[in-house]
Chain A
């Protein structure tokens, strides 16, 4: 995983709540056995017309949002299925930061495994960020994970909370599995205790 670096980027706005993972990546694209290439299908049913052409009405098709790395969205983003294809598609499309008031649980976890920073803000903060983007489409925000800060030219910047463990992993780009395997002795010791306490779970 690429380490997450401080960056300045266009912030794209999707003023929609309860965006589910079926919309982020519709199921017809879940049959691939690789991790790559899902960005081409991100928000497929909203993004493209029936004939495959771009739907000009869809927010992310606006020229002002081209190249955005930051996605500002409404409440409860990523609800529904556990498919990690959703964050794969988001990252592959080019986003590395999402700003919303809330996320569905599994989606939130999946983001961190894929170098995506999901930032939580209050409803008021979200409204002022949305107003700033609406007033000045193509506006660029600075995201500084190290200092847990977002800076905007319109003065709607803020600091945000994030779990220090997850922050560390994003900054270092560290492999989660490697980190767990550092505790392999403790895992083995747990398994020995577990076998004694619950022998029926280990019967084969």
Chain B
């Protein structure tokens, strides 16, 4: 039998398939943050249930935390309460928590790989849709709701329906200046935000093999924006090299044993997928989203589309309302769109490599007049690494703000937000209405494109920049 990687992981985690019930799948790792967990702990207390395996859990505080003046108490009393409740819940249940004072603190999906907590072949969940990030390691990782967070804490299992499989193949080599972010956006532009619904996507092809682990995390992170349950990339030498020596990676003799297992995970030759999508890497230009859904995206050399250019009523209507919200006129060149704000960070693009690329672009430039630009590292580790490399100085000299880690303006829960009508070049993952502040307008881009836009005051084609 030729199996896909998804089927192999599914089969090895099937606990019971009872008549008339959804199959129960075993969960190896449970990641946690302060926003989607308090009601789950409350549920456990009300039913007098215990956490089945505290060692399977790693928790952080990231969504509602301030990214400056960390030495002060959190000003927002409701956010402060949420953080306090998280600390109490972790203490009461003996869970490993990277709180705000911990040098390991940061965005959950940035912190977890830094410590090697997720390995190939695992089933990983978190009350957060961007859990898909960890598919970069060949782990089946997906977001769950708070009731399911409670379910996993109490039982270490989840009732699950088996997904269909989709192979997304990116053939050839990516052009210079196009990145994993651009691949992610180009795929969503092609298949739509519901294109992956009901599927687990496996990304393959030369361009995927060429990506660094960080690039693979960026790509899998946005599998959810394509509607997929999870994204997966076959583990290879890069995966093993990234994991080796990390705190929670297998040590000593267990390393060889784990490697042998990991090498058995990639999809078999001739394995059948329910759907196959192919893109030529050479066609993927740096992308900029123009609307209020990640599928409303185009190459930087393009123009804002007109509603008439869409072939179905729903898309025409969506384009009209997106253009009204975004304050854009059809046929405007993307490079003529002025911006007010730049955000580099998030679980999509908040890793060291992202700041290296952005700093290279920002070096020797100045943030254009009237623009606020903030760089928010995904974790303290990223922050300290960047500071060791002198990247913070490059940003600060260029007029950027250099902040403490957190989700920050990716979802603007912590007070970092746009005002009504402000337009932002953002390395995050969602350009929904109001996502970065009520009335705020978000354009999704790669870190290099964001840094170039900060200097120019409008979007620029990074291929012709500098």
A residues near B (Cβ < 8 Å) are 17-18, 20, 22-23, 26-28, 30-35, 45, 74-76, 79-84, 87, 102-106, 109-110, 113-114, 163-166, 168, 175-177, 179-181, 183-184, 186-187, 190-191, 194, 197-204
- 13 further A-B pairs in the complex, CB-CB below 8 A; given A84-B36, A187-B24: A20-B432, A22-B435, A26-B438, A28-B413, A79-B194, A81-B128, A82-B127, A102-B194, A109-B148, A163-B22, A183-B16, A187-B156, A194-B26
Query: What separation, in Å, do the CA atoms of A102 and B195 have in the docked complex?
Result: 11
Segment of B74-82, B206-214, B232-240 in the binding face = B74-82
Cβ–Cβ contact A45 & B157, under 8 A: no
Cβ–Cβ contact B432 & A200, under 8 A: no
Segment of B106-114, B254-262, B358-366 in the binding face = B254-262
Taking a contact as CB atoms closer than 8 A, the residue among A18, A168, A202 that contacts B193 in the complex is A18
| CB within 8 Å for A203 and B198 given contacts A22-B435, A186-B15, A190-B26 | no
Residues of chain B contacted by A197 (CB below 8 angstroms) = 12
Q: Tell me whether B20 is interfacial, beta carbon within 8 Å.
A: yes
A-B CB proximity, top 10 nearest: A113-B147, A200-B250, A84-B145, A200-B254, A33-B38, A110-B145, A82-B143, A84-B146, A31-B78, A82-B129
Query: What separation, in Å, do the CA atoms of A82 and B214 have in the docked complex?
Result: 23
Residues of chain A contacted by B314 (CB below 8 angstroms) = 17, 74-75
The interface bits of chain B over 292-307 (1 if a CB of A lies within 8 angstroms of the residue's CB, else 0) are 0100000000000000
The interface bits of chain B over 314-329 (1 if a CB of A lies within 8 angstroms of the residue's CB, else 0) are 1001100000000000
Cβ–Cβ contact A200 & B258, under 8 A: yes
Q: Whose C-beta in chain A lies nearest to the C-beta of B158?
A: A180
Cβ–Cβ contact A83 & B35, under 8 A: yes
> Can you list 24 pairs linking A and B with CB atoms under 8 Å apart?
A18-B293, A23-B434, A26-B434, A30-B413, A33-B39, A33-B82, A34-B42, A74-B314, A75-B314, A79-B194, A102-B197, A106-B142, A106-B145, A110-B148, A165-B159, A176-B159, A186-B15, A187-B16, A187-B26, A190-B26, A197-B12, A199-B257, A200-B250, A202-B55
Residues of chain B contacted by A200 (CB below 8 angstroms) = 119, 250-251, 254-255, 257-258
Query: What separation, in Å, do the CA atoms of A79 and B452 have in the docked complex?
Result: 31
Q: Tell me whether B263 is interfacial, beta carbon within 8 Å.
A: no
Query: What separation, in Å, do the CA atoms of A183 and B15 have in the docked complex?
Result: 9
Shortest distance from the beta carbon of B33 to any chain A beta carbon, whole Å: 11
| CB within 8 Å for A45 and B26 given contacts A106-B144, A109-B148, A186-B16 | no
Shortest distance from the beta carbon of B58 to any chain A beta carbon, whole Å: 13
Q: Tell me whether B21 is interfacial, beta carbon within 8 Å.
A: yes
Residues of chain B contacted by A87 (CB below 8 angstroms) = 145
Query: Which B409-426 residues have a C-beta within 8 angstroms of A?
Result: 411-413
Cβ–Cβ contact A23 & B198, under 8 A: no
Query: What separation, in Å, do the CA atoms of A105 and B164 have in the docked complex?
Result: 12
Cβ–Cβ contact B155 & A201, under 8 A: no
Residues of chain B contacted by A194 (CB below 8 angstroms) = 26
Residues of chain A contacted by B258 (CB below 8 angstroms) = 198, 200
Query: What separation, in Å, do the CA atoms of A48 and B138 have in the docked complex?
Result: 44
| CB within 8 Å for A177 and B49 given contacts A186-B16, A187-B15 | yes
Query: What separation, in Å, do the CA atoms of A34 and B46 have in the docked complex?
Result: 12
Shortest distance from the beta carbon of A73 to any chain B beta carbon, whole Å: 12
Residues of chain B contacted by A79 (CB below 8 angstroms) = 193-194, 227
Taking a contact as CB atoms closer than 8 A, the residue among A33, A35, A110, A190 that contacts B81 in the complex is A33
Q: Tell me whether B391 is interfacial, beta carbon within 8 Å.
A: no
Query: Which B24-41 residues have a C-beta within 8 angstroms of A?
Result: 24, 26, 28, 35-36, 38-39
Cβ–Cβ contact A81 & B129, under 8 A: yes
Cβ–Cβ contact A18 & B318, under 8 A: yes
Query: What separation, in Å, do the CA atoms of A111 and B405 have in the docked complex?
Result: 33
Query: What separation, in Å, do the CA atoms of A167 and B190 have in the docked complex?
Result: 35
Cβ–Cβ contact A27 & B413, under 8 A: yes
| CB within 8 Å for A84 and B147 given contacts A27-B412, A32-B78, A33-B82 | yes
Cβ–Cβ contact A180 & B432, under 8 A: no
Shortest distance from the beta carbon of A189 to any chain B beta carbon, whole Å: 9
Residues of chain A contacted by B147 (CB below 8 angstroms) = 84, 110, 113-114, 176
Q: Tell me whether B64 is interfacial, beta carbon within 8 Å.
A: yes
Q: Tell me whether B229 is interfacial, beta carbon within 8 Å.
A: yes
Residues of chain B contacted by A75 (CB below 8 angstroms) = 194, 314
Q: Whose C-beta in chain B lies nearest to the C-beta of A185?
A: B16
The interface bits of chain B over 1-27 (1 if a CB of A lies within 8 angstroms of the residue's CB, else 0) are 000000000001001101011101010
Q: Whose C-beta in chain B lies nearest to the C-beta of A181?
A: B155
Cβ–Cβ contact A176 & B81, under 8 A: no
Residues of chain B contacted by A113 (CB below 8 angstroms) = 145, 147-148
Query: What separation, in Å, do the CA atoms of A26 and B440 have in the docked complex?
Result: 13
| CB within 8 Å for A105 and B122 given contacts A180-B151, A180-B157, A200-B250 | no
